Amino acid sequence: MMDASEFETLLGVRARACEAALDALLTATPAPGEIARPERLVAAMRHGALGGGKRLRPFLTVETARALGLEGEGPLLAGCALELIHCYSLVHDDLPAMDDDDLRRGRPTVHVAYDEASAILAGDGLLTLAFDVICDERVSADPARRLAAAQGLARAAGIGGMAGGQALDLAAETAGAPLSAEDTMQMQAMKTGALIAFAVDQGAILAGASDAERASLARYGRALGACFQIADDILDAESDAATLGKRAGKDAGRNKATLVALLGLPAAKARREALAREAEAALAGLPGRDVAVLAAAARFVASRRN
Protein backbone atom coordinates (compact mmCIF):
# COMPACT_ATOMS: atom_id res chain seq x y z
CA MET A 1 0.00 0.00 0.00
CA MET A 2 1.24 3.49 -0.88
CA ASP A 3 0.99 6.05 1.92
CA ALA A 4 -0.18 9.65 1.51
CA SER A 5 3.26 11.25 1.60
CA GLU A 6 4.70 8.83 -0.99
CA PHE A 7 1.66 9.55 -3.15
CA GLU A 8 2.09 13.33 -2.90
CA THR A 9 5.79 13.03 -3.77
CA LEU A 10 4.93 11.03 -6.90
CA LEU A 11 2.14 13.48 -7.81
CA GLY A 12 4.72 16.29 -7.58
CA VAL A 13 7.22 14.42 -9.77
CA ARG A 14 4.57 13.79 -12.44
CA ALA A 15 3.31 17.41 -12.19
CA ARG A 16 6.81 18.72 -12.96
CA ALA A 17 7.09 16.46 -16.02
CA CYS A 18 3.68 17.67 -17.16
CA GLU A 19 4.64 21.31 -16.63
CA ALA A 20 7.80 20.85 -18.73
CA ALA A 21 5.84 19.14 -21.53
CA LEU A 22 3.17 21.87 -21.53
CA ASP A 23 5.87 24.53 -21.54
CA ALA A 24 7.37 22.95 -24.67
CA LEU A 25 3.96 22.77 -26.38
CA LEU A 26 3.03 26.39 -25.66
CA THR A 27 5.77 28.07 -27.67
CA ALA A 28 5.66 31.07 -29.98
CA THR A 29 7.18 29.00 -32.80
CA PRO A 30 4.54 28.08 -35.39
CA ALA A 31 4.01 24.36 -36.07
CA PRO A 32 4.18 23.13 -39.68
CA GLY A 33 1.04 24.37 -41.45
CA GLU A 34 0.53 27.32 -39.09
CA ILE A 35 1.18 30.90 -40.22
CA ALA A 36 2.22 32.73 -37.04
CA ARG A 37 1.50 32.59 -33.29
CA PRO A 38 0.59 36.03 -31.87
CA GLU A 39 2.76 36.82 -28.86
CA ARG A 40 -0.03 38.15 -26.61
CA LEU A 41 -2.26 35.16 -27.29
CA VAL A 42 0.56 32.72 -26.51
CA ALA A 43 1.28 34.67 -23.30
CA ALA A 44 -2.39 34.52 -22.22
CA MET A 45 -2.52 30.78 -22.96
CA ARG A 46 0.66 30.23 -20.96
CA HIS A 47 -0.84 32.22 -18.06
CA GLY A 48 -3.87 29.93 -18.12
CA ALA A 49 -1.99 26.66 -18.45
CA LEU A 50 1.40 26.99 -16.73
CA GLY A 51 2.54 27.69 -13.18
CA GLY A 52 0.23 25.75 -10.94
CA GLY A 53 -2.34 23.05 -10.71
CA LYS A 54 -2.11 19.57 -9.29
CA ARG A 55 -2.04 18.02 -12.80
CA LEU A 56 -4.25 15.27 -11.43
CA ARG A 57 -5.76 14.35 -14.81
CA PRO A 58 -2.40 13.73 -16.59
CA PHE A 59 -1.30 11.86 -13.47
CA LEU A 60 -4.26 9.50 -13.79
CA THR A 61 -3.55 8.86 -17.47
CA VAL A 62 0.14 8.15 -16.83
CA GLU A 63 -0.50 5.94 -13.80
CA THR A 64 -3.35 3.98 -15.40
CA ALA A 65 -1.13 3.24 -18.40
CA ARG A 66 1.74 2.24 -16.09
CA ALA A 67 -0.50 -0.08 -14.08
CA LEU A 68 -1.28 -1.80 -17.39
CA GLY A 69 2.39 -2.03 -18.36
CA LEU A 70 2.75 0.99 -20.67
CA GLU A 71 5.50 3.52 -19.90
CA GLY A 72 7.05 6.30 -21.97
CA GLU A 73 6.07 9.75 -23.23
CA GLY A 74 2.80 8.73 -24.99
CA PRO A 75 0.55 8.74 -21.91
CA LEU A 76 2.17 11.95 -20.61
CA LEU A 77 1.47 13.72 -23.89
CA ALA A 78 -2.12 12.42 -23.93
CA GLY A 79 -2.43 13.62 -20.33
CA CYS A 80 -1.20 17.05 -21.47
CA ALA A 81 -3.92 17.16 -24.15
CA LEU A 82 -6.50 16.56 -21.41
CA GLU A 83 -4.86 19.11 -19.12
CA LEU A 84 -5.06 21.73 -21.91
CA ILE A 85 -8.84 21.11 -22.05
CA HIS A 86 -9.05 21.36 -18.25
CA CYS A 87 -7.12 24.67 -18.30
CA TYR A 88 -9.32 26.06 -21.08
CA SER A 89 -12.41 25.18 -19.00
CA LEU A 90 -11.00 27.05 -16.00
CA VAL A 91 -10.14 30.13 -18.12
CA HIS A 92 -13.66 30.23 -19.57
CA ASP A 93 -15.37 29.32 -16.28
CA ASP A 94 -13.67 32.29 -14.60
CA LEU A 95 -15.05 34.79 -17.17
CA PRO A 96 -17.57 37.41 -16.02
CA ALA A 97 -20.31 35.70 -18.08
CA MET A 98 -19.78 32.46 -16.15
CA ASP A 99 -18.41 32.22 -12.59
CA ASP A 100 -16.80 35.68 -12.64
CA ASP A 101 -13.65 34.92 -10.63
CA ASP A 102 -10.53 37.04 -10.19
CA LEU A 103 -8.33 34.42 -8.47
CA ARG A 104 -7.19 31.00 -9.74
CA ARG A 105 -4.25 28.89 -8.57
CA GLY A 106 -3.31 31.82 -6.32
CA ARG A 107 -2.92 34.23 -9.25
CA PRO A 108 -5.15 36.68 -11.14
CA THR A 109 -7.40 34.92 -13.67
CA VAL A 110 -6.58 35.32 -17.38
CA HIS A 111 -9.27 37.93 -18.10
CA VAL A 112 -7.98 40.02 -15.17
CA ALA A 113 -4.29 39.68 -16.11
CA TYR A 114 -5.09 40.32 -19.80
CA ASP A 115 -8.64 41.18 -20.92
CA GLU A 116 -11.88 39.36 -21.62
CA ALA A 117 -11.40 38.89 -25.37
CA SER A 118 -7.89 37.54 -24.77
CA ALA A 119 -9.24 35.07 -22.18
CA ILE A 120 -11.91 33.82 -24.61
CA LEU A 121 -9.30 33.38 -27.33
CA ALA A 122 -6.78 31.81 -24.93
CA GLY A 123 -9.44 29.22 -23.99
CA ASP A 124 -10.18 28.61 -27.68
CA GLY A 125 -6.46 28.22 -28.36
CA LEU A 126 -5.96 25.75 -25.48
CA LEU A 127 -8.99 23.67 -26.51
CA THR A 128 -7.83 23.48 -30.11
CA LEU A 129 -4.22 22.73 -29.22
CA ALA A 130 -5.43 19.75 -27.17
CA PHE A 131 -6.64 18.04 -30.35
CA ASP A 132 -3.39 18.84 -32.15
CA VAL A 133 -1.50 17.18 -29.26
CA ILE A 134 -3.68 14.05 -29.04
CA CYS A 135 -3.14 13.44 -32.79
CA ASP A 136 0.65 13.56 -32.36
CA GLU A 137 2.38 10.34 -33.39
CA ARG A 138 4.31 10.36 -30.11
CA VAL A 139 1.04 9.66 -28.25
CA SER A 140 0.92 6.12 -29.68
CA ALA A 141 2.50 4.36 -32.64
CA ASP A 142 -0.94 2.80 -33.23
CA PRO A 143 -3.18 5.26 -35.16
CA ALA A 144 -6.34 3.42 -34.00
CA ARG A 145 -5.45 4.13 -30.38
CA ARG A 146 -4.77 7.81 -31.16
CA LEU A 147 -8.11 8.06 -32.92
CA ALA A 148 -9.97 6.38 -30.03
CA ALA A 149 -8.27 8.76 -27.60
CA ALA A 150 -9.18 11.81 -29.71
CA GLN A 151 -12.83 10.77 -29.96
CA GLY A 152 -13.00 9.99 -26.26
CA LEU A 153 -11.49 13.40 -25.50
CA ALA A 154 -14.09 15.15 -27.66
CA ARG A 155 -16.93 13.29 -25.97
CA ALA A 156 -15.63 13.91 -22.44
CA ALA A 157 -15.17 17.64 -23.13
CA GLY A 158 -18.16 18.40 -25.36
CA ILE A 159 -21.96 18.63 -25.35
CA GLY A 160 -22.50 15.29 -23.65
CA GLY A 161 -19.68 15.86 -21.17
CA MET A 162 -18.04 18.91 -19.61
CA ALA A 163 -19.54 21.69 -21.77
CA GLY A 164 -22.99 20.09 -21.45
CA GLY A 165 -22.58 19.81 -17.67
CA GLN A 166 -21.56 23.46 -17.46
CA ALA A 167 -24.69 24.41 -19.44
CA LEU A 168 -26.89 22.41 -17.02
CA ASP A 169 -25.16 24.03 -14.05
CA LEU A 170 -25.66 27.57 -15.38
CA ALA A 171 -29.29 26.82 -16.28
CA ALA A 172 -29.92 25.56 -12.74
CA GLU A 173 -28.59 28.80 -11.27
CA THR A 174 -31.21 30.88 -13.02
CA ALA A 175 -34.08 28.34 -12.76
CA GLY A 176 -36.76 28.90 -10.14
CA ALA A 177 -36.49 25.47 -8.50
CA PRO A 178 -33.28 23.82 -7.26
CA LEU A 179 -32.00 20.64 -8.96
CA SER A 180 -32.84 17.32 -7.33
CA ALA A 181 -29.99 15.24 -5.89
CA GLU A 182 -30.22 12.92 -8.91
CA ASP A 183 -30.04 15.79 -11.43
CA THR A 184 -27.18 17.38 -9.47
CA MET A 185 -25.22 14.11 -9.64
CA GLN A 186 -25.78 13.86 -13.40
CA MET A 187 -24.75 17.49 -13.95
CA GLN A 188 -21.59 16.92 -11.89
CA ALA A 189 -20.79 13.61 -13.62
CA MET A 190 -20.76 15.61 -16.86
CA LYS A 191 -19.14 18.87 -15.71
CA THR A 192 -16.27 17.44 -13.67
CA GLY A 193 -16.60 13.67 -13.72
CA ALA A 194 -16.30 13.18 -17.48
CA LEU A 195 -12.74 14.55 -17.74
CA ILE A 196 -11.55 12.64 -14.68
CA ALA A 197 -13.11 9.39 -15.87
CA PHE A 198 -11.61 9.94 -19.31
CA ALA A 199 -8.16 10.59 -17.81
CA VAL A 200 -8.29 7.00 -16.59
CA ASP A 201 -9.93 5.63 -19.74
CA GLN A 202 -7.36 7.11 -22.11
CA GLY A 203 -4.59 5.41 -20.11
CA ALA A 204 -6.49 2.15 -20.69
CA ILE A 205 -6.98 2.93 -24.39
CA LEU A 206 -3.30 3.69 -24.99
CA ALA A 207 -2.15 0.61 -23.05
CA GLY A 208 -4.56 -1.66 -24.95
CA ALA A 209 -6.51 -2.80 -21.87
CA SER A 210 -8.87 -5.77 -22.16
CA ASP A 211 -12.61 -5.04 -22.16
CA ALA A 212 -12.91 -6.38 -18.60
CA GLU A 213 -10.05 -4.18 -17.37
CA ARG A 214 -11.50 -1.17 -19.14
CA ALA A 215 -14.90 -1.75 -17.54
CA SER A 216 -13.39 -1.97 -14.04
CA LEU A 217 -11.36 1.17 -14.70
CA ALA A 218 -14.51 2.93 -15.94
CA ARG A 219 -16.17 2.14 -12.58
CA TYR A 220 -13.08 3.41 -10.80
CA GLY A 221 -12.99 6.61 -12.90
CA ARG A 222 -16.68 7.38 -12.40
CA ALA A 223 -16.47 6.96 -8.63
CA LEU A 224 -13.26 9.00 -8.53
CA GLY A 225 -14.84 11.83 -10.53
CA ALA A 226 -17.89 11.95 -8.27
CA CYS A 227 -15.66 11.83 -5.19
CA PHE A 228 -13.53 14.69 -6.57
CA GLN A 229 -16.56 16.92 -7.13
CA ILE A 230 -18.11 16.33 -3.73
CA ALA A 231 -14.69 16.95 -2.12
CA ASP A 232 -14.52 20.23 -4.10
CA ASP A 233 -17.95 21.27 -2.82
CA ILE A 234 -16.97 20.42 0.77
CA LEU A 235 -13.76 22.47 0.38
CA ASP A 236 -15.76 25.40 -0.99
CA ALA A 237 -17.98 25.26 2.10
CA GLU A 238 -15.22 24.73 4.67
CA SER A 239 -11.94 26.15 3.41
CA ASP A 240 -10.52 29.58 2.60
CA ALA A 241 -9.02 31.32 -0.40
CA ALA A 242 -5.46 31.18 0.99
CA THR A 243 -5.60 27.38 1.07
CA LEU A 244 -7.56 26.90 -2.14
CA GLY A 245 -5.85 29.50 -4.35
CA LYS A 246 -9.35 30.48 -5.48
CA ARG A 247 -12.31 32.13 -3.75
CA ALA A 248 -14.12 29.96 -1.20
CA GLY A 249 -17.74 30.06 -0.04
CA LYS A 250 -19.00 30.93 -3.52
CA ASP A 251 -21.48 28.08 -3.85
CA ALA A 252 -23.67 29.06 -0.89
CA GLY A 253 -23.56 32.70 -2.01
CA ARG A 254 -25.15 31.95 -5.37
CA ASN A 255 -27.44 29.02 -4.66
CA LYS A 256 -25.24 26.56 -6.56
CA ALA A 257 -26.52 23.04 -7.03
CA THR A 258 -24.18 21.02 -4.78
CA LEU A 259 -24.61 17.89 -2.74
CA VAL A 260 -23.43 19.85 0.32
CA ALA A 261 -26.48 22.09 -0.04
CA LEU A 262 -28.79 19.15 -0.73
CA LEU A 263 -27.53 16.60 1.81
CA GLY A 264 -25.80 18.74 4.46
CA LEU A 265 -22.09 18.54 5.37
CA PRO A 266 -22.05 15.31 7.44
CA ALA A 267 -23.90 13.30 4.76
CA ALA A 268 -21.78 14.85 2.01
CA LYS A 269 -18.62 13.75 3.84
CA ALA A 270 -19.99 10.24 4.29
CA ARG A 271 -20.71 10.11 0.55
CA ARG A 272 -17.18 11.34 -0.24
CA GLU A 273 -15.71 8.47 1.83
CA ALA A 274 -18.09 5.91 0.29
CA LEU A 275 -17.14 7.00 -3.24
CA ALA A 276 -13.41 6.70 -2.46
CA ARG A 277 -14.04 3.17 -1.15
CA GLU A 278 -16.08 2.34 -4.26
CA ALA A 279 -13.22 3.54 -6.49
CA GLU A 280 -10.73 1.40 -4.58
CA ALA A 281 -13.06 -1.61 -4.69
CA ALA A 282 -13.35 -1.34 -8.50
CA LEU A 283 -9.60 -1.93 -8.78
CA ALA A 284 -10.19 -5.52 -7.65
CA GLY A 285 -11.24 -6.06 -11.28
CA LEU A 286 -7.58 -5.77 -12.35
CA PRO A 287 -6.01 -8.92 -10.89
CA GLY A 288 -2.27 -9.20 -11.43
CA ARG A 289 -1.87 -5.45 -12.04
CA ASP A 290 -0.08 -3.13 -9.63
CA VAL A 291 -2.90 -0.75 -8.71
CA ALA A 292 -1.36 0.66 -5.51
CA VAL A 293 -0.92 4.16 -7.00
CA LEU A 294 -4.49 4.27 -8.33
CA ALA A 295 -5.80 3.17 -4.93
CA ALA A 296 -3.74 5.91 -3.26
CA ALA A 297 -5.17 8.42 -5.77
CA ALA A 298 -8.70 7.59 -4.57
CA ARG A 299 -7.70 8.20 -0.95
CA PHE A 300 -5.93 11.45 -1.97
CA VAL A 301 -8.97 12.79 -3.81
CA ALA A 302 -11.15 12.23 -0.74
CA SER A 303 -8.67 13.86 1.65
CA ARG A 304 -7.24 16.71 -0.46
CA ARG A 305 -7.01 20.20 1.01
CA ASN A 306 -6.86 22.22 -2.21
Q: Which residues of this chain interact with ligand GRG, rule CB under 6 A?
A: 53-54, 56, 89-90, 92-93, 105, 162-163, 166, 191-192, 229, 232
CA–CA distance, 24 with 62 (Å, rounded to integer): 18
List residues bridging with 103 in a β-sheet: 108
Determine the residue with CB nearest ligand GRG: 53
CA–CA distance, 228 with 259 (Å, rounded to integer): 12
Give me the least distance between CB of 185 and ligand GRG, in Å please. Answer: 14
Of 106 and 208, the one with the shorter C-beta distance to ligand GRG is 106
Give residues with Cβ within 8 angstroms of 249, minimum separation 6.
Answer: 236, 237
Give me the least distance between CB of 146 and ligand GRG, in Å please. Answer: 24
Of 93 and 213, the one with the shorter C-beta distance to ligand GRG is 93
Of 191 and 271, the one with the shorter C-beta distance to ligand GRG is 191
CA–CA distance, 83 with 89 (Å, rounded to integer): 10
Give me the least distance between CB of 58 and ligand GRG, in Å please. Answer: 10
Number of H helices, E strands in the chain: 16, 2
Of 97 and 284, the one with the shorter C-beta distance to ligand GRG is 97
Of 79 and 213, the one with the shorter C-beta distance to ligand GRG is 79
Give me the least distance between CB of 36 and ligand GRG, in Å please. Answer: 27
8 Å CB contact between 174 and 145? no
10 Å CB burial of residue 251 (0-12, 13-18, 19+) is: middle
